[in-house]
Chains A and B, each alone.
Chain A
Amino acid sequence: DQQVKQNSPSLSVQEGRISILNCDYTNSMFDYFLWYKKYPAEGPTFLISISSIKDKNEDGRFTVFLNKSAKHLSLHIVPSQPGDSAVYFCASINQAGTALIFGKGTTLSVSS
């Protein structure tokens, strides 16, 4: 049973526009979420995180929004750049705080 879900396997966006990547979770006890970016054959690179005590966290072009009642978070990239093309993973830390639970990922393609 998937506890972290990224229902869109892929997303295509034009350069300069906004990219919105979505993530849903099922366990209301999850209280910390992270987004990672991954290129093929490389390890995931940490992008941004959010604690459940916040509903928004911003870092440069990246903003993560958390809606606890809906158990939903989203990553906004503005403006999108071709170098942002990668697989984006949403993850939550498990209740024991010992492991990341990942979604299946969303492949973002930014065209120029």
Chain B
Amino acid sequence: KAGVTQTPRYLIKTRGQQVTLSCSPISGHRSVSWYQQTPGQGLQFLFEYFSETQRNKGNFPGRFSGRQFSNSRSEMNVSTLELGDSALYLCASRGDVSGNTIYFGEGSWLTVV
């Protein structure tokens, strides 16, 4: 069974640009969540989607947004990039809203210059 797949793995963007990251959850999993990891803040929750609906959102500005498609694949978008957005962005999936084991992808490394 394939794991959580994230693309792209590495990318470099310029301040002010926008970026879209993609995530394909484990086959059959309908819940997808996104996390940001930075050296200073650790792993922080961005948002979770289940059946194309955002169920919860972390404490991030509106520049961070996401969506989920009918096939459970998800994208997150960051607009007007800032240097501080440089981070590892992790996607995670689980089978359903009551499933407690959450599996992570390899992450997308974003560098903003």
Q: Which chain A residues in 17-45 approach chain B with CB under 8 Å?
A: 32, 34, 36, 41-45
Residues of B within 8 Å of A32, CB to CB, are 100
Complex contact A44–B48 (CB within 8 A): no
Q: Which chain B residues in 86-113 approach chain A with CB under 8 Å?
A: 88, 90, 92, 97-98, 100-107, 109
Known contacts A104-B42, A105-B42; A43 and B100 CB within 8 A of each other: no
- Please report the C-alpha to C-alpha distance between residue A45 and residue B103 in the assembled complex, in whole angstroms: 7
Tell me the nearest residue of chain B to A102, going by C-beta: B43
- Please report the C-alpha to C-alpha distance between residue A89 and residue B88 in the assembled complex, in whole angstroms: 15
B4 within 8 A of A: yes
Complex contact B58–A43 (CB within 8 A): no
B77 within 8 A of A: no
Complex contact A97–B43 (CB within 8 A): no
Please, how many residues of chain A have a CB less than 8 angstroms from a CB on the other chain? 25
- Please report the C-alpha to C-alpha distance between residue A103 and residue B44 in the assembled complex, in whole angstroms: 10
CB < 8 Å: which of A49, A96, A99 contacts B101? A49
Residues of A within 8 Å of B104, CB to CB, are 36, 43-46
Complex contact A49–B58 (CB within 8 A): no
A98 within 8 A of B: yes
Q: Which chain B residues in 9-24 approach chain A with CB under 8 Å?
A: none
- Please report the C-alpha to C-alpha distance between residue A97 and residue B6 in the assembled complex, in whole angstroms: 23
- Chief secondary structure at chain B's binding surface: strand
Residues of A within 8 Å of B48, CB to CB, are 98-99
Residues of A within 8 Å of B63, CB to CB, are none
Residues of A within 8 Å of B80, CB to CB, are none
CB < 8 Å: which of A51, A100, A103, A104 contacts B102? A100
- Please report the C-alpha to C-alpha distance between residue A41 and residue B109 in the assembled complex, in whole angstroms: 8
Complex contact A93–B90 (CB within 8 A): no
Complex contact A103–B42 (CB within 8 A): yes
CB < 8 Å: which of A36, A49, A89 contacts B100? A49
Tell me the nearest residue of chain B to A41, going by C-beta: B109
Residues of B within 8 Å of A103, CB to CB, are 42
Residues of B within 8 A of A (CB): 4, 6, 33, 35, 42-45, 48, 55-56, 58, 88, 90, 92, 97-98, 100-107, 109
